[in-house]
Amino acid sequence: SICFVVKAETMPIGFIIARPVDFTSLTTICGSNTIAAQILSASGNDKVLLWEDAAVLNLRTAQGKTIRGVGKKLYQVMAKTANMLSMVSIGRTSPGSFAEKILPKVGLLPIDPPIQDGKDQQRYWLMRQNEK
């Protein structure tokens, strides 16, 4: 697995986790052999980098202003890592979630044609090709 953690002094304030997955792992994660095969076929690879989770604390300055950009930076670092590893990235999200807004900013876009998750039909899969 790959994990990046952001700290403010000694306190963790954000993280992002990803791991390489193959057909067998992806089948377990998405709940369907068919969906796993569709995702891998769309990627053109037999192994992809699954962006599993990310979270950031809501931080404010002493003046009460929201501190922004920590989550975006974490996603950018993971995208750069995927490029260095030459791995296609995948992730899943739900309509209206924060991830749905930030993932396209680092190139994770809905797979075309759309692929719904096998365990939760509200979620759908996204993919990011490597930048050269």
Q: Which two tokens stand for residue 53?
A: 């989770």
Please name which of 95, 97, 75 lies closest in space to residue 18, comparing C-alpha atoms. 75
Helix (H) or strand (E) segment spanning residue 51: strand 47-56
Q: Give, for all 132 residues of the chain, the pLDDT tens digit.
A: 999 999 988 889 999 999 999 999 999 999 999 999 999 999 999 999 999 999 999 888 889 888 888 988 999 999 999 999 999 999 999 999 888 888 999 999 999 989 998 888 889 999 999 876
Helix (H) or strand (E) segment spanning residue 46: none
Distance CA 37, CA 23 (A): 7
Q: pTM of the predicted model, to two decimals?
A: 0.90
